[in-house]
Amino acid sequence: GDSVTQMEGPVTLSEEAFLTINCTYTATGYPSLFWYVQYPGEGLQLLLKATKADDKGSNKGFEATYRKETTSFHLEKGSVQVSDSAVYFCALINTGTASKLTFGTGTRLQVTL
Amino acid sequence: KAGVTQTPRYLIKTRGQQVTLSCSPISGHRSVSWYQQTPGQGLQFLFEYFSETQRNKGNFPGRFSGRQFSNSRSEMNVSTLELGDSALYLCASSLDPPGQETQYFGPGTRLLVL
């Protein structure tokens, strides 16, 4: 079945550091890929998405490129802020299981001054 | 446009009781999905409703059920609660049956079973 693998956290960075959170997936067909963010005590917010190979999703300085050849969708940001501290989830939705989002385990990011 | 709303936000129940959670989707969205989030199992898909019909179901026991009303609002019910049902229950809505469409999440209902 479909699966998403994320790098283990927590990731601790100083403000203005470069961020990479790795995400790889296993799926049949042509899934759409997503990054969601969860702040403490809240639900999930869509951060960015990509629906086909080589698409780049971007939002609020975060970027991720859909790489079919490496089945990856790594999240990057050039300069993190304390306010970026949250848990980040990589997810996919497959046309074969149309309504089901499959999530990774989440990566907690802690940004310090 | 208002986002997805869920009520109640917090709930405490005891083992053996039942609970009903409510979700109001974004206006115009007809698909509603439910997820359970726990520290041990992460985010797991419960079920999805579209036009009052259950279209997809995850691997949960029959104690977990749901329904959708004609205005797209949805409820999920858990009967005979167990301690392991303590979780954050998240509802998500999308414009159409979510294939390529994005799912937008509500703030969740945090259920504690004692």
pLDDT tens digit sequence for B54-71: 988 999 999 999 999 999
Here the tokens at position B113 are: 């079973």
Instruction: Return the number of other C-beta atoms located less than 10 Å from residue A92's C-beta.
Output: 23
Chain B contact probe: residue of A38, A87, A99, A107 with most B CBs at under 10 A: A99
pLDDT of residue A103: 95
**Residue among A44, A45, A99 whose CB faces B55 most closely:** A99
pLDDT of residue B100: 59
Q: Looking at the complex, does the CB of residue B100 fall below 8 Å from at least one CB of chain A?
A: yes
CB A12 within 8 A of CB A112: yes
The length of chain B is: 114
Q: Looking at the complex, does the CB of residue B66 fall below 8 Å from at least one CB of chain A?
A: no
Q: In angstroms, rounded to a whole number, what is the distance separating the alpha carbons of residues B104 and B101? A: 10
Cα distances from A68 to residues A4, A6, A82, A97, A105, in angstroms, run 14, 16, 32, 19, 21
pLDDT of residue A69: 94
Cis ω on the peptide bond leading into residue B8 (within 30° of 0)? yes
pLDDT of residue B42: 92
Which one, of A21, A33, A1, A17, lies nearest residue A88 by Cα? A21
Q: What is the pLDDT of residues A27-52, one digit of tens each?
A: 988 899 999 999 988 899 999 999 98
- Check CB contact under 8 Å for A42 and B92: no
Tens digits of pLDDT across chain A (113 residues): 889 999 888 999 999 999 999 999 999 888 999 999 999 888 999 999 999 899 999 999 999 999 999 999 999 999 999 999 999 999 999 876 667 899 999 999 999 99
Q: What is the pLDDT of residues B13-25, one digit of tens each?
A: 999 999 999 999 9
Within its chain, how far is the Cα of A51 from the centroid? 14
